[in-house]
Structure 1
Amino acid sequence: MTPKVIDKSIFDCGGKTLISLASDGSTLCVANKSGLAKVLQTEKPEEEPEVLETSKNLTSVHCDTNSSFILTTVEGDVYRYNFKNGKDQLLARFALPIRDSTLAHSGKIVVIGGDDLELALIELDGETPKKHTVKVVEQVSQLSCTSQTNILSVSYTNGVVQFFSLNSTKPNKVHEITSVIPANSYRDSTGNNALDAILDDSIDDSDDDEEEKKVKDPEFCDENRICTRAAWHPTGLHFALPSKDNNVQVYSIRDYKLERTLTTSTKYPSHFTDLQFDTLNGSYIASIDLNNVLVVWDWANAKVIYTDTFKNKLTNITWKVQKESNKLDLILSTWSGDVISIQDLVESTPNLEKEASKEGTGRSNLFVDSDISEGSDEEEQGDPNNDDGQEKESSKRKYHFDDEEDFIDDDDGAGYVAPKRPDNISTNYKQTNNRSHSGIVRTPNFHYGPISPGATPYGNSDRRYLTMNSIGYVVSVRNNDQNSVTVSFFDLGKFSEYHFEDLFGYDICSLNDRGTLFGQSKTGQIHYRPHSSLNANWTKSIPLQRGERITCVTATPKRINIGTSYGYLRTFNQFGVAISVEKMSPIVCMAAYEYKVFTVHYSVFHGVSYSLFEQSPSNLRYFQRECPLPIMLPQGNPEVDRAFDSDFTHFNPMGIKSIFFSIYGDPCIFGNDNVLLILSKWRSAMKSRWIPILDSNMEVWKMSGGKDSNDVHVWPLGLTYDTLNCILVKGKNPWPDFPLPLPSELEVRIPTLVKSQILQETKNKKKLRTEEGILDDEEEDGEGEGNEELEIPVNMAAEEEYLRAKVLSTLLNDTLDNDGELYGNEREILKGLTGEHDKSLLRLFADACAEQSSDKALSIAQELEQDRALNAAMKISERAELMTLVKKINTLREARFEQQQ
């Protein structure tokens, strides 16, 4: 295979020219500093290109979609041009020059850097671009980002490279490399320095003056050409830096350690002007330098496979994958308005490191087994799991997509699920008697699949959250034949983000403050990775029966638990040593806290249940064993389940968004109805009960001013005393997208409020304010109506506050009685709850006295806990002239005093 070099003139006027290839691989944007851009169809070179007028003096160009590109300029402008409709949009404007830009999150965000000592992140997916800025300590030289691991590299003019995680909306610095790339400052002057560079170049190549295309651009000088940006491997797990020693250094993102150093065999090595991994498998690195020498390496073997020298002064390069082929082309742009294409340069092969890893594990046929053939998580959920063996398996897997909505079979006719549509009945019945309907036998089906707390489906993207909690989150990104995994944390001062290449397709995960446990539901492989490099990773295989799947895993610093669809619960210590095996009802999800384990079961015959037990070193103690769990499963009926999402239900048939323990060790569950339940008095089977402590739909309704909003959702992380840590999700999908918004907090609120009553009270209050003439300007103009959070009437709020203080006191008292103080401030918190309890009751007591309802007031007084609160109730009764009530409360005080003696 001999590469073919094609030199094509795009701009006759010459000048600095930059290129960018769209993600479809067939659209090449070529932009020139003179203020013109042309859009070429690489698969149809005979077609005339689209021509657009753009801003002059460009510094970078990137195709963010298949129909638009982002362009930055020395003047500080950021434009977005749509070459389908010819429209342009000014995204941002800065006072100082912009040096570079890069795209993040699959083109949803563009990152801008320059001389302003700040990074700007501009969101592109909305109608109006939103800009966020991050201060930096040095001028930005160049930028690059990998969409696989969401890591942004920022090269500064002082030779420092910093790496930021973009998994959340606020970039977080994760690493820094110094003394590798060249320190380089741009030169914006147009005087003798630029002229000297041109003259020097002419002297050096005097023998080829007639052939060489001269560059007369005053911007042309070495300082404005040197490349300092990191080049990213397509998996995001490696990056390459152009070093100040004129070689290429390849690093691993896992520990930011140097893995390869690539050197050239050129006679006069010089600084690089661009550096890129091939975009297919990342097997090759291409570079160009100040001497216009192109070098292509097989970087895994540190071998040069192609080199060439050009007369043109080169600016940047991009790889292009030939359609229906593994062959790679390379496209180069120049300072003279030409574009050079090198066709059939190399044929891409899978990364050698990856192949070696697969062979080393002895699991090269991991996803080829006929019983556990490879498929996405969504496909896996759609494969009916016929556990009773009444149906024979066909040679090929059959997907009953028409049966996805009704994943639970009402086999006993109890009516706990919505009726099936008539046209779906035939797919779930076996006709044993053609004459009688009574001969129809129903086979119960349920699609057991991996469910981790906070896990999300892929949806329409190539990435998803494997798990999410108050500690952090784990992201899996699908590549061609393997995944890349990123473990991120909210507390960056305590933990450091890390990445690794996932060759086994882990689809289930558990994250704690010591390490991360991964599992592959179909093969039974589990893998534990401590956050600290001082401890070793370990991998085990769990025996699975035919059709059995791992459905959930948990990891605490004390124990590791694995639950399966057949009800096997396997327990290991933190080093992978087996401790116990137990059989129970099929397990669908699980959470753990130290030695305590909270499991949720589902059986088509027994419904949803839960177990709660403790696996201490001395004994195994069950607090609750397969008791009914009062959660609502997805119904698919808009009248019952307004927030029903078929994609999420297909991924997670139980609709359980997360289960976890509160910081005081109480089990919590956040289900399909978006209500947070907490288990009270769980140490006693006869006293335990599930208490709803937060209806997130109601809280969203209040925050939106009393409007029913379907585009704001609450995604739970964990419960801290009286506050739910969560992610507020905006958009159609109920699960969080990328980048992850910053965590929010919602105070727990016992569901006692009625929407219609709140709206009526608000309306009456506004009417009264109108009559008294005390409306503010916004209320008079109607502005802000429905936009501000609703104010709850005092009497309604007092009732909720009373119940909340009572519930929280019960939970905390139970913890103190059994576990003692965990954090040292529980007694103080309990004292404050008692005060809140009595204050809210006194407000209700005052309302009852105002209504002259003595009996109601007395019943409220009997709930007061402190003597001073009873004394206050007597004074309120005296003001209301309810003397009989005063005597009864006084009698109550005396009776309590005698009991205390």
Structure 2
Amino acid sequence: MALQQRIRSRQAHAPGATFLTYTPNGKKLITVGIDNFCRIYSTGSDDEPITVDDVQENNTAIVASNGFFIAGSEDGTVCKYSLENKKLEDILVRTSLPVRDVAMSPDGNWVAVASDELVVKVVNTKDTQQVQYLREQLRSVKHVAFDNSGSHLAVSCTDGSIYMYSLSSEQPNMIKKVDGIIKSLESDAEASSKVLWHPDGRAFAAPTAGRDIQVMSFSDWERQRAFKTGHSADITAAAWSPNGALLATTSSDLDLCLWDAKTQKLIKRFDDLKATVLALTWHPTENILSYTNNDGELFIHTDIVPGEHAALLAKPLQPAPFFHDPSEGRPANAPKPTTNGATSHEIPHRRALRLGSPDSLDDILGDALDGDEDMEDFVVDDDGAGYAPAINGHGKRTNGHLDPITGTLKRRAHGPSFEPQIHEAFQPGSTPWRGNRRYLCLNLTGFIWTVSQETGTHNTVTVEFYDREYHRDFHFTDPFLYDKACLNDTGALFSCQPNTSENTPAMIYYRPHETWTSRTDWRTHLPAGESITAIALSSSYIVVTTSTNYLRVYTLFGIPLRVYRQKASPAVTCAAFHDTVLTIGNGPVSSSGTCTLLYTLENVKTDEVYQASDMVSLPPGAELRSVFFSDEGDPYIYDSSGVLLTLLHWRVMGQAKWVPMLDTRLLERSMGGKVEESYWPVAVAGGKFHCIILKGAEQYPYFPRGILSEFGFVIPLSSPNVQTKSGKKNKSKRRDVDQDGAEMDAMSDAEAEDEDVVKAQTADPLLQSLILSSTLATQLSSTLSSIPHPTSAQRKALQDLEVGIDRTLLQLLGQECLAGEDRGMKALEIVTLMRDANGKMYDLARKVAQRYGREVLGEKIREMEERRMLGVEDEE
């Protein structure tokens, strides 16, 4: 005779929703409820549970390892508590909306948090700075569940879909969206849509809208066996036994059922429950099933499996209930399933068949990933008629059917024709589609990226900030298909192109981060027939260039301020800083057949034009890659040859000139081809060039986003590490000299020439410092002259630059004096470059000459100083 089953009921918490979990070793059972404490029960003990105080109220989920447990609550807090000292260890993460579920990876290193936010956060339990964000779902998330390996996470969304993520890489990747199984539920509903990973790891199950439990194989996403539960109400909780041989289900009809997983037969039904069970879990090793309900009660049901079936729990790990095991191959006549249940026979022109076994996991995952290169043949021209255009990884038509931009157009019998090569329009900081993702904006404030969804009717846009204490990340569904964006500390700007199929015009959308009134998002449509070529956002204005060559300027609250047609066309791009707007367009055709780029700089507030249709300096064959303003408000460009240039004297009409501030080809890391890399420009700030390093043949940053690197300005003067005639690298060295400056050791002619090169190399850092400081001083002086009231810090920065220039000139003077008397004329020329207006530098220069015994030079400097004091121009 079987032992009588015993149900141990305890009032664990105040009446209300209550949840529980076992530690992996089964020694502890932990519960949380609506009150501000949790209970820790010892398995097999009748002692009173240990109470942990100071827990958040209205807890909604709990998970545990052998050393700690984690609870999530409706106030958005997810906390970690020690099982050893029963104290709060850490607040792992906070969400702005209620937490609905938490799940822990098998190794205890990661916890996934589902909340009413659209984003699922996966946080490292040892280092809360390590966070992964899952963003593909369109609505809030009700449940999350790790598989046995911890490398995959199932997300049950309130939209009725399961989003399956791979977490094996630094950037999470959604590998499948499973529709048609779970029911669309509100996030606070008692009914469950939680995914139940089978212990053998090859399948998962979930409650269906028909109140069954459907099993699906993970390798080929095929529906397998189903448990016809017969519940008369929605399923509220379910769990596999530790070895996968049994399944327990319960619903709001107050029934609890045990099922044989292999046969899907009912073993036992308990129909005497008093309240709806919200959570149930098996003991890891014993014949115990524990559950909690919505009345604050805990039930520890020992010997729950009847004696005649208890042997099922003693079996080793059991296989998932398949119709046929995917590892054994698919029957020859079985059609390949798709996400929504349609077969490959039903949609013959939808997807090209892949080589190899159609059942392999790599093939299935390849189909699921929008970024698969093989998706270029998504539409199959299977009859050879040529009607199917090439399709890119984003699922859209490529430009392969168009003539290339280079070369002449092909005509039949009308002789040769000339087609100028225009510079294509681009949005600074954006990247092209790669797979189903692209960056819309990358700068020092943050970055905006978009993901195209399978339906093609909408995208999902994510805005992330580097300083999350100052701004909060946000995420939204994008039905307008925004293709351009700008981001700064004031707000975020988006634009989309006209939709001819729906007869909707192009649109811009501005979302401020904060206002002292209610947030005032606004949208405005452009006239029909105009598409947007580029947008820019400053702290004062919004700038839009269009396909009709109109420049449109709006205030931050949507008031149109300027509309005019650009002289340089077609328009290429634009940038803005405070009141200054920079626009670039195609100009006259050069002898090489390419259009010269022309730029215009203006102050839209005062309606003053600084530079009108001046030339953008690019080397032959190079293209413009980016244009932006520095944090000081000076224009910069970056071209395809890897050179960063700034515009000097840009506030004076006709005086502007492009000055190279950095040639990335001359960076020491790039010299000699030691590493193959390029640089994606991001910004100029703090006197440095900020960029993302791209390895190999990569042209654009991709996911996961590379870290920002910075390089100081180095105006190109000479190539480093030049070989001398003697075959040695040109490195600094020093020879002993006597008092007269003659070298003590004899040198060959080649060595003498090498010595000159070495001396020049020694002076290079000083010359570099001189020209860089002079450029920066000129730039800053122009900026301060345009400001009504410069700050003391700005004036001091300019003074420091000018003092630094004179200090560098003194060092160069010392080197020339050390080199010998024959360098006297160059030494005197150095003195003439000094900027000190009060004459102190002349006095110091004369002392340097005296120190090295250059009496003639000292006399020349004294004469120069006297002429300066008398106001006489130096004729020498």
Output the TM-score relative to the length of structure 1: 0.54
The DSSP-based 3-state class of the residue aligned with 1:561 is: strand
1:837 aligned partner, one-letter code = I
Q: Offset at 1:543?
A: 2.1
CA contact (8 A) 2:575 2:628 kept: yes
- 1:283-317 superposed Cα distances (whole Å, 9 cap, x missing partner): xx9996237668999xxxxx99xx9974239999x
Aligned to 1:631: 618
The whole-number CA distance in structure 2 between the counterparts of 1:484 and 1:296 is: 36
Aligned to 1:290: 239
The whole-number CA distance in structure 2 between the counterparts of 1:513 and 1:632 is: 34
Aligned to 1:840: 808
2:615 aligned partner, one-letter code = P
Q: Offset at 1:452?
A: 1.9
Q: Cα distance 1:145–1:886, how it changes in 2: closer, same or farther (>3 A)?
A: farther
Q: Offset at 1:715?
A: 2.1
Q: Cα distance 1:528–1:310, how it changes in 2: closer, same or farther (>3 A)?
A: farther
The percentage of counterpart residues that share the same residue type is: 23
The whole-number CA distance in structure 2 between the counterparts of 1:142 and 1:832 is: 52
The whole-number CA distance in structure 2 between the counterparts of 1:530 and 1:751 is: 41
Aligned to 1:726: 691
Aligned to 1:464: 438
Count of residue pairs brought into register by the alignment:
572
1:602 aligns to 2:602 (yes or no): no
Taking the TM superposition and a 5 Å limit, the aligned residue runs for 1:11-50 are none
2:560 aligned partner, one-letter code = A
Select which of 489, 504, 515 maps to 1:513: 489
Aligned to 1:857: 827
Q: Offset at 1:746?
A: 1.3
1:503 aligned partner, one-letter code = P
CA contact (8 A) 1:456 1:735 kept: yes
Q: Offset at 1:741?
A: 2.8
1:337 aligns to 2:318 (yes or no): yes
Q: Return the index of the structure with the highest Cα Rg.
A: 2
The whole-number CA distance in structure 2 between the counterparts of 1:569 and 1:767 is: 54
Aligned to 2:260: 311
CA contact (8 A) 1:475 1:486 kept: yes
1:707 aligned partner, one-letter code = G
Taking the TM superposition and a 5 Å limit, the aligned residue runs for 1:91-170 are 140=109, 142-143=111-112, 152-154=121-123, 166=132
Q: Offset at 1:375?
A: 7.9
The DSSP-based 3-state class of the residue aligned with 1:290 is: strand
The DSSP-based 3-state class of the residue aligned with 1:825 is: helix
The whole-number CA distance in structure 1 between the counterparts of 2:587 and 2:114 is: 46
1:696 aligns to 2:661 (yes or no): no
Aligned to 2:430: 455
Select which of 597, 604, 608 maps to 1:615: 604
Aligned to 2:155: 231
Q: Offset at 1:796?
A: 0.8
CA contact (8 A) 2:636 2:645 kept: yes
CA contact (8 A) 2:599 2:614 kept: yes
The whole-number CA distance in structure 2 between the counterparts of 1:234 and 1:181 is: 9
The DSSP-based 3-state class of the residue aligned with 2:699 is: coil
Q: Offset at 1:468?
A: 1.0
Aligned to 2:296: none
- For the aligned residue pairs, the C-alpha RMSD in angstroms reads 5.6
Q: Offset at 1:733?
A: 0.6
1:400 aligns to 2:385 (yes or no): no
Q: Cα distance 1:374–1:899, how it changes in 2: closer, same or farther (>3 A)?
A: farther
Q: Offset at 1:682?
A: 1.0
Taking the TM superposition and a 5 Å limit, the aligned residue runs for 1:262-301 are 262-264=189-191, 289-290=238-239
1:483 aligns to 2:451 (yes or no): no
The whole-number CA distance in structure 1 between the counterparts of 2:124 and 2:250 is: 23
Aligned to 2:845: 873
Q: Cα distance 1:335–1:751, how it changes in 2: closer, same or farther (>3 A)?
A: farther
Select which of 171, 178, 187 maps to 1:260: 187
The whole-number CA distance in structure 1 between the counterparts of 2:420 and 2:149 is: 67
Q: Offset at 1:614?
A: 1.2
The DSSP-based 3-state class of the residue aligned with 1:816 is: helix
Taking the TM superposition and a 5 Å limit, the aligned residue runs for 1:444-593 are 444=420, 446=422, 448-449=424-425, 451-459=426-434, 461-480=435-454, 481=456, 482-523=458-499, 524-532=506-514, 534-545=518-529, 549-584=531-566, 585=568, 586-593=570-577
Aligned to 1:37: none
CA contact (8 A) 2:112 2:120 kept: no
CA contact (8 A) 1:227 1:271 kept: no
Aligned to 1:747: 712
The DSSP-based 3-state class of the residue aligned with 2:576 is: strand
The whole-number CA distance in structure 2 between the counterparts of 1:554 and 1:693 is: 24
CA contact (8 A) 1:144 1:230 kept: no
1:312 aligned partner, one-letter code = A
Aligned to 1:195: none
Aligned to 1:888: 860
Unaligned runs of at least 5 residues, structure 2? 1-64, 70-81, 93-104, 166-184, 208-215, 222-233, 241-245, 265-279, 282-312, 325-336, 343-388, 500-505, 590-594, 737-757
- 1:700-726 superposed Cα distances (whole Å, 9 cap, x missing partner): xx136x432452322222222421222
CA contact (8 A) 2:717 2:768 kept: yes
Q: Cα distance 1:540–1:857, how it changes in 2: closer, same or farther (>3 A)?
A: same
The whole-number CA distance in structure 2 between the counterparts of 1:380 and 1:239 is: 23
Aligned to 2:176: none
The DSSP-based 3-state class of the residue aligned with 2:867 is: helix
User: Greater helix share, 1 or 2?
Assistant: 1
The DSSP-based 3-state class of the residue aligned with 2:320 is: strand
The whole-number CA distance in structure 1 between the counterparts of 2:823 and 2:759 is: 26
Q: Cα distance 1:149–1:709, how it changes in 2: closer, same or farther (>3 A)?
A: farther
The whole-number CA distance in structure 2 between the counterparts of 1:804 and 1:442 is: 43
The whole-number CA distance in structure 2 between the counterparts of 1:506 and 1:237 is: 25
Q: Offset at 1:522?
A: 4.6
Q: Cα distance 1:698–1:145, how it changes in 2: closer, same or farther (>3 A)?
A: farther
Q: Cα distance 1:163–1:375, how it changes in 2: closer, same or farther (>3 A)?
A: farther
CA contact (8 A) 1:153 1:163 kept: no
The whole-number CA distance in structure 2 between the counterparts of 1:884 and 1:312 is: 104
Q: Offset at 1:568?
A: 1.0
The whole-number CA distance in structure 1 between the counterparts of 2:124 and 2:722 is: 58
Q: Offset at 1:181?
A: 9.0
Q: Which moved more, 1:229-238 or 1:585-594?
A: 229-238
CA contact (8 A) 2:109 2:124 kept: yes
1:816 aligned partner, one-letter code = L
Q: Cα distance 1:455–1:791, how it changes in 2: closer, same or farther (>3 A)?
A: farther
Q: Offset at 1:462?
A: 2.8
CA contact (8 A) 1:155 1:162 kept: yes
Q: Offset at 1:544?
A: 4.5
Taking the TM superposition and a 5 Å limit, the aligned residue runs for 1:779-858 are 793-820=761-788, 824-849=792-817, 850-851=819-820, 852-858=822-828
Q: Offset at 1:348?
A: 6.7
- 1:320-344 superposed Cα distances (whole Å, 9 cap, x missing partner): xxxxxxxxxxxxx997321124799
Q: Cα distance 1:470–1:338, how it changes in 2: closer, same or farther (>3 A)?
A: same
2:460 aligned partner, one-letter code = S
Which structure is richer in relative contact order (CA contacts within 8 A, separation 6 or more)?
1
1:556 aligned partner, one-letter code = S
- 1:89-118 superposed Cα distances (whole Å, 9 cap, x missing partner): xxxxxxx99999xxxxxxxxxxxxx99999
Q: Offset at 1:575?
A: 2.3
The whole-number CA distance in structure 2 between the counterparts of 1:567 and 1:797 is: 46
- 1:645-690 superposed Cα distances (whole Å, 9 cap, x missing partner): xxxxxxxxx441x211112211111121221111111111122211
Q: Offset at 1:271?
A: 14
Q: Offset at 1:793?
A: 3.9
